């Protein structure tokens, strides 16, 4: 995304030899307990072949890095769509303690590129559980004038349908 380069950027020294830069943009992400959240991290053109990663807290050392572009785990997976200039990290099996500040990172010589991510996690008890039969009846009864069903996408994507 071109807007990433136009954002205000702040740089600082992380160690005696490594400098870091961060954009002023914050990526908001929301998820429910026991489900998954997807973090979409845009990066500038020209960095398609660079290593990407997601880290939590301040990213001061390697222990803060949760997943890198060449590795996945049971909880974290990463996919780099180089045509869209975006890498996506999926955080599975969300818990309340997963909420907080994360950083999308692109490794480069001199200084890495960071974009802040804020993950919020809510309890899933606010979701309704319905049978598929009831959901189909609801959609048919509430279709628009053209006969097409109305979209209730977020409710059914975030809630488990039995």
Residue 140 belongs to domain spanning: 127-158
DSSP 78: E
**103 shares its domain with 41:** yes
Tell me the pLDDT tens digit for each residue of 98-150.
999 999 999 998 888 999 999 999 997 655 555 555 454 444 444 444 444 44
Number of domains the chain contains: 2
CATH of the domain at 99: 2.60.40.10
**91 shares its domain with 15:** yes
What is the pLDDT, as a whole number, of residue 147? Answer: 45
Higher-pLDDT residue of 92 and 147 is 92
Contact of 65 with 52, CB cutoff 8 Å: no
pTM of the model: 0.63
Tell me the pLDDT tens digit for each residue of 68-83.
777 788 899 999 999 9
Tell me the pLDDT tens digit for each residue of 20-50.
455 558 999 999 999 999 999 999 999 999 9
**43 shares its domain with 105:** yes
Residues near 40 by Cβ (< 8 Å), separated by ≥ 6? 27, 86, 87, 88
H helical segments located in the chain: 3-6, 132-141, 153-158
Sign of CA dihedral 144, 148, 149, 154: negative
**10 shares its domain with 70:** yes
């Amino acid at each position: 995304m071109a807007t990433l380069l136009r954002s205000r950027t702040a740089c600082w020294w992380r160690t005696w030899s490594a400098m870091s830069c961060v954009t002023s943009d914050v990526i908001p992400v929301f998820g429910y307990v026991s489900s998954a959240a997807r973090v979409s991290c845009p990066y500038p053109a020209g960095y398609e072949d660079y290593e990407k990663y997601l880290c939590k807290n301040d990213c001061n050392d390697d222990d803060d890095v949760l997943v890198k572009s060449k590795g996945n785990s049971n909880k974290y997976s990463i996919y780099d769509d180089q045509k869209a200039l975006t890498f996506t990290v999926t955080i599975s099996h969300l818990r309340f303690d997963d909420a907080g500040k994360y950083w999308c990172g692109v490794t480069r010589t001199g200084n890495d590129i960071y974009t802040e991510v804020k993950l919020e996690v809510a309890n899933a008890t606010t979701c309704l559980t319905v049978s598929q039969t009831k959901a189909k009846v609801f959609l048919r009864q509430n279709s628009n004038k053209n006969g097409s069903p109305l979209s209730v996408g977020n409710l059914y994507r975030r809630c488990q349908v039995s």
